[in-house]
Amino acid sequence: MISLTSVSKSFGSGARRTVALDNVSLDVPEGDIFGVVGQSGAGKSTLIRTVNLLERPDSGSIRVDGQELTALGDNDLRVARQGIGMVFQHFNLLSSRTVQGNVEFALEVIGVDSRERKRRAAEILDLVGLGAKASSFPSQLSGGQKQRVGIARALAARPRVLLSDEATSALDPETTRSILELFRTINRDLGLTVLLITHEMDVVKTICDSAALLEAGQIKENGRLVELISTPGSRLARDLFPLGAIGELPGTTVIDITFSGGNADRPVIAQLARDHAIDVSILGAAIETIAGNQAGRTRLGLPGDARSNAAAIADLRAQGLLVEIVGGAAA
Ligand SMILES: Nc1ncnc2c1ncn2[C@@H]1O[C@H](COP(=O)(O)OP(=O)(O)OP(=O)(O)O)[C@@H](O)[C@H]1O
């Protein structure tokens, strides 16, 4: 649905040149909720702004819903942008207009007539749960309600794609959850493809089907969450199940076991004790529901070095479990 191919963008020139996007290629499948994560300055905002050409890339191609946007003239681009809604961190509402007026404004600028504007705005405000606030002004709303107006406005032109630029970053955890649920509803009921950027792993964990890790303008990892969590060494997977630092454990091999889907309920500890006579220490555990599936990571301490635990580790791997040796006694 969204395809970025070899997209690069830099700002400034000479010694002051900053490369914000460095040869980025990314495919967001239709109907997906796709999260791009990265630290401050990684290039997330620049990336999402290139998708509707709010930021024009220096090179590369951008296809949305089958259309090559960089090849379009101004008029065609204006029409194509109607298919791409955008939600912002700071809502960007018009303070002099009511809630209804803010949503209608999005339709006014694309030439929808007054009666149809009213009808559609009322329908969308109901969808986002703000029907009762139609005649309030933004200053009379909570942060979460303001963001619902932002979402209603983004949906007004009936887009096929929704871009979210840190939409929940200014909201408290409970409000964040309700807005993320709204994204999920919109995605499911309207079939919208959602591309969001965030610096919060919790957002990815809660609603994303797929994610990409952006670092210094480059995509370092990218894929469906269910696949990433069973990819050895995945940093995204590690961030989804943070188990903290590994302390000093003399004479112990430390392993992380990742469970997902069908193997989430294996009694591995009992089995290690029974089949290999190992006294296992549990050093940490994180269980989450990722993309609708239960998944988790358990950190175990096994007495002895990696070589003396080789048979037990091979046994776990033979059962299809992802086992990573993350620390421990030298062989
Ligand atoms: N208009 C601009 N002029 C100059 N430099 C810019 C501009 N926009 C972004 N940059 C630079 O490009 C890099 C990427 O910025 P960007 O805002 O895309 O990162 P980000 O990951 O969204 O960061 P944050 O999470 O802090 O918003 C940064 O080094 C930033 O300073």
User: How many domains are there within the chain?
Assistant: 2
Give percent above pLDDT 90 in the chain. Answer: 65
CATH of the domain at 67: 3.40.50.300
CATH of the domain at 281: 3.30.70.260
Structural domain contains residue 292: yes
> What is the chain's mean pLDDT, rounded?
90
Output the CA torsion 201→207→209→215 (10° steps): -30
Rounded CA-CA distance 195/87 in Å is 10
210 and 311 housed in the same domain: no
Q: How confident is the model at residue 20 (pLDDT cuts 50, 70, 90)?
A: very high
Q: Of 45-54, 222-231, 305-314, which one has max mean pLDDT?
A: 45-54
86 and 209 housed in the same domain: yes
Determine if ligand 1 sits within 6 Å of the CB of residue 258. no
**Dihedral sign for Cα atoms in the order 133, 137, 139, 144:** positive
Q: Whose CA is nearest to atom 18 of ligand 1?
A: 43
Structural domain contains residue 74: yes
Structural domain contains residue 236: no
Does position 201 have pLDDT exceeding 70, yes or no?
yes
Determine if ligand 1 sits within 6 Å of the CB of residue 11. yes
Does position 248 have pLDDT exceeding 80, yes or no?
no
165 and 218 housed in the same domain: yes
Q: Whose CA is nearest to atom 3 of ligand 1?
A: 11
Q: Whose CA is nearest to atom 28 of ligand 1?
A: 41
What is the tens place of the pLDDT at every residue in 113-135?
A: 999 999 999 999 999 999 999 99
Using CB atoms within 10 A of its CB, is residue 184 exposed (0-12), middle (13-18) or buried (19+)? Answer: middle
Determine if ligand 1 sits within 6 Å of the CB of residue 41. yes
Structural domain contains residue 46: yes
Determine if ligand 1 sits within 6 Å of the CB of residue 20. yes
171 and 256 housed in the same domain: no
189 and 308 housed in the same domain: no
Prediction pTM value: 0.87
Determine if ligand 1 sits within 6 Å of the CB of residue 46. yes
- Contacts of residue 330, defined as CB under 8 A and 6 or more positions apart, other chains included, come to 305
Q: How confident is the model at residue 294 (pLDDT cuts 50, 70, 90)?
A: confident
Q: Which of 21-25, 138-142, 167-171, 249-253 has the lowest mean pLDDT?
A: 249-253
Does position 94 have pLDDT exceeding 60, yes or no?
yes
Determine if ligand 1 sits within 6 Å of the CB of residue 38. yes
Residue 310 φ then ψ, to 5°: -60, -40
- Contacts of residue 212, defined as CB under 8 A and 6 or more positions apart, other chains included, come to 26, 34, 35, 36, 37, 219, 221, 222, 223
Determine if ligand 1 sits within 6 Å of the CB of residue 43. yes
9 and 92 housed in the same domain: yes
291 and 201 housed in the same domain: no
169 and 41 housed in the same domain: yes
171 and 312 housed in the same domain: no
Asked whether the ipTM of the predicted complex exceeds the cut of 0.90, the reply is yes
Residue that terminates a domain, selected from 228, 263, 290:
228
Does position 17 have pLDDT exceeding 90, yes or no?
yes
Does position 185 have pLDDT exceeding 50, yes or no?
yes
Cβ-defined contacts of 306-309 (< 8 Å, 24+): 306/253, 306/331, 307/331, 308/253, 309/253, 309/255, 309/278
223 and 252 housed in the same domain: no
Query: Quick one: how far is CA 104 from the chain centroid?
Result: 29
278 and 324 housed in the same domain: yes
Task: Tell me what pLDDT residue 330 has.
Answer: 53
Q: How confident is the model at residue 198 (pLDDT cuts 50, 70, 90)?
A: very high
Determine if ligand 1 sits within 6 Å of the CB of residue 78. no
**Mean pLDDT in residue range 295-316:** 89
Rounded CA-CA distance 328/31 in Å is 43
User: Of 239 and 261, which is predicted with more confidence?
Assistant: 239
Structural domain boundaries, residue 101: 2-228
Structural domain contains residue 260: yes
Q: Whose CA is nearest to atom 5 of ligand 1?
A: 11
Structural domain contains residue 234: no
Task: Tell me what pLDDT residue 331 has.
Answer: 47
30 and 124 housed in the same domain: yes
What is the tens place of the pLDDT at every residue in 136-183?
A: 999 999 999 999 999 999 999 999 999 999 999 989 999 999 999 999
Structural domain contains residue 163: yes
Give percent above pLDDT 70 in the chain. Answer: 97
- CA neighbours closer than 13 Å in the CB half-sphere of residue 136: 13
Q: Which atom of ligand 1 is nearest to the CA of 47?
A: 18
Determine if ligand 1 sits within 6 Å of the CB of residue 18. yes
Residue that terminates a domain, selected from 176, 198, 228:
228
Structural domain contains residue 174: yes
Output the CA torsion 36→41→45→47 (10° steps): -70
Q: How far is the CA of 11 from the centre of ligand 1 (A)?
A: 9
Coil, helix or strand for 274? helix
Does position 264 have pLDDT exceeding 70, yes or no?
no
Residue that terminates a domain, selected from 199, 228, 257:
228
